[in-house]
Amino acid sequence: MFLLTLNSCENTLEEYNPSGLTSETVFTTPEGFETLVNGAYSYQRWWYGKEEGYNIAETGTDIWTSGAGEVYRDLTQYLNLQGSNAALTNEWREFYAAINLCNGGINRIADAGLSDALRPVREGELRFLRAFYYWHIVETWGGVHFTTTETSGIVTTANKTPVETFYNLIFEDLKIAVTNLPATQPQYGRVTKGAAQAFLARMYLTRGMNKEALEMAEAVIKGNYGYKLEANFADLWKMSNQKSKEVIYAVDYSSNLAINDLANTTFNPYGHSRGSNNAHLLFLMKYDDRPGMIRDLTNGRPFNRYMPTRFLLDLYSDNDARYEGSFMEAWYANSASLPAGISKGDTAVYCTRKDVPDAVEVSKKYQTYDRSKIYLADGTVKDNLRYPTLSKFMDPTRASLNEAQSARDVFVIRLAEVYLIAAEAQMQLGNVAAAAEHINVLRTRASKPGKTAAMLVKPADITLDFILDERARELAGEQLRWFDLKRTGKLTERIKKHNPDNAINVQEHHIVRPIPQTQLDAVVNKSEFNQNAGYQ
């Protein structure tokens, strides 16, 4: 059912509030239709930069496990994962609301009164978004409910549709989006031709269409879009660099927190989504109870939800600047009450992926948590409170040290991923030398000064597992990992091999998630629309 007061949640997109009007009149005016399109973008904010999305897309893989503050252990460690999971319930509800809005817009656009120049652009945006949302749905839950028509009122039946049907529409929509969309948009946050091509390349790779994936990835890399890798990986994550030329598509959050949906009765009536980007909270270890340390803006508010597996930390060589660009290991004394021998600004806590000899450790004034204190010999977690912390998403520009909202944009697709797509497609096509060339572009960027030669890989090094390792090094935390492991058929294999905490309960049926129980309870055709196999 259409919501009649759809406000834009993209802070750079103009808002229009047609309060009190019906959808038949609102969406047949250009101003009203802009409201519909802007509203369609807003649903991305339920996944990108939100705890639910991180739990579904990053945890429960080979590279992350539960910190002490983990909320959804059933997703991360597959502990009796069922349709009652709140994160899955929330995302299902919002994605289908987004699909309904996109369907309505696509089917109504002919009567919207848009100019001949604007109409194909807005249709391209809506088709991109429908494909985008349906990809999240079909990969998360498999062949579930599918429709291309607008729903009005209460519907009590649902269908089970083959995965291939979803992808047929995804490809159709994205091809139209590529054709219709301009290379640039006047408002940041709107999808462009390059973004549609990059996402289409990801979709081709997902379906094993490697020739098409390569062609589309190279169209982005070689296109005249102005995309450019940052010279320094760490610079990607500076709050002053939100509009990096490496970013192809982003979910745009505003520095004006009031318009980021913390309290919005239309788009966030449930009151639990924390408004803006919350990633800065989720990966931080508990530091503010250590001697010499208090909570501050620089070190962030530690929700302590997720911690890296030992496997992830070991993926980075000492020559790879992406480790220091992604993780922090040292916390510096900031308290008025300091331990003996430590001054303000000195190291107070050191958490390292490496072993520190006992003789060295006892010689230090600060507290050390080394490899043997964080992980047991087999890689299972020993201490889920202290560990090297993913620093990519931290935000020291927040107004206060307890502020849960961040204005940080979420980078959904960046140029580095497109190089990795091209490399994987080349490998699958048997062109390992070309695959190595694409990967070496990223490894050259990632190399520490004087270490480029040591970072370069040879064609003989290129395997699917190596590419998945490289994707982890480059994209850790960026809401892609679960999808990467699923599409390559490596989810359970790599969890069992590399993540002993998550390996205990993972089973083959976990390659799709359980359908929310609220949905199953609501439908009347329960024999046709039932729970995914393996779940109760």
Q: CATH for 23-66+73-273+411-522?
A: 1.25.40.390
Q: For residues 28 and 111, what is the distance between their CA atoms, to the nearest angstrom?
A: 5
**Residue 18 pLDDT more than 50?**
no
Among 272-276, 295-299, 460-464, which stretch is predicted with the lowest mean pLDDT? 272-276
Region(s) of the chain under CATH 1.25.40.390? 23-66+73-273+411-522
Q: How confident is the model at residue 11 (pLDDT cuts 50, 70, 90)?
A: very low
First to last CA, the chain: 30
When pLDDT is averaged across residues 281-304 and rounded to a whole number, the result is: 98
Task: Kindly report, residue by residue over 433-475, the tens digit of the pLDDT.
Answer: 999 999 999 999 999 999 999 999 999 999 999 999 999 999 9
Q: How confident is the model at residue 259 (pLDDT cuts 50, 70, 90)?
A: confident
**Residue 3 pLDDT more than 60?**
no
Q: For residues 13 and 37, what is the distance between their CA atoms, to the nearest angstrom?
A: 10
Q: Which two tokens stand for residue 476?
A: 């850790």
pLDDT at residue 8 in the model: 32
Query: CA 9, 11, 16, 20 torsion: positive or negative?
Result: positive
Q: How confident is the model at residue 273 (pLDDT cuts 50, 70, 90)?
A: low
Strand residue runs (E) in 230-384: 247-251, 306-308, 327-328, 330-332, 347-351, 367-369
Task: Kindly report, residue by residue over 482-522, the tens digit of the pLDDT.
Answer: 999 999 999 999 999 999 999 999 999 999 999 999 999 99
Q: How confident is the model at residue 153 (pLDDT cuts 50, 70, 90)?
A: confident
Task: Name the pairing type of β-strands 330-332 and 347-351.
Answer: antiparallel
pLDDT at residue 274 in the model: 57
Quote the mean pLDDT of the chain: 93
**Residue 197 pLDDT more than 90?**
yes
Q: For residues 296 and 248, what is the distance between their CA atoms, to the nearest angstrom?
A: 32
Q: Which two tokens stand for residue 75?
A: 């997703």
Task: Kindly report, residue by residue over 416-439, the tens digit of the pLDDT.
Answer: 999 999 999 999 999 999 999 999
pLDDT at residue 13 in the model: 33
Task: Kindly report, residue by residue over 401-415, the tens digit of the pLDDT.
Answer: 999 999 999 999 999
Rg of the Cα atoms in the chain: 23
Four-CA torsion 517, 519, 521, 527, nearest 10 degrees = -100
Task: Name the pairing type of β-strands 389-390 and 64-66.
Answer: unpaired
Task: Kindly report, residue by residue over 52-84, the tens digit of the pLDDT.
Answer: 999 999 999 999 999 999 999 999 999 999 999
Q: For residues 232 and 234, what is the distance between their CA atoms, to the nearest angstrom?
A: 6
Query: CA 444, 447, 449, 452 torsion: positive or negative?
Result: negative
How large a percentage of the chain has pLDDT more than 90?
90
Among 80-84, 87-91, 150-154, 385-389, which stretch is predicted with the lowest mean pLDDT? 150-154
**Residue 14 pLDDT more than 50?**
no
Q: How confident is the model at residue 10 (pLDDT cuts 50, 70, 90)?
A: very low
For 4-71, the DSSP string reads TT----STTSPP---TT--HHHHTTSHHHHHHHHHHHHHGGGGTTTSHHHHHHHTSSSSSEEE-TT-S
Q: For residues 387 and 294, what is the distance between their CA atoms, to the nearest angstrom?
A: 17
**Residue 1 pLDDT more than 70?**
no
Structure-token match 């390349």, residue found: 201
Cross-strand bridge partners of residue 308: 64
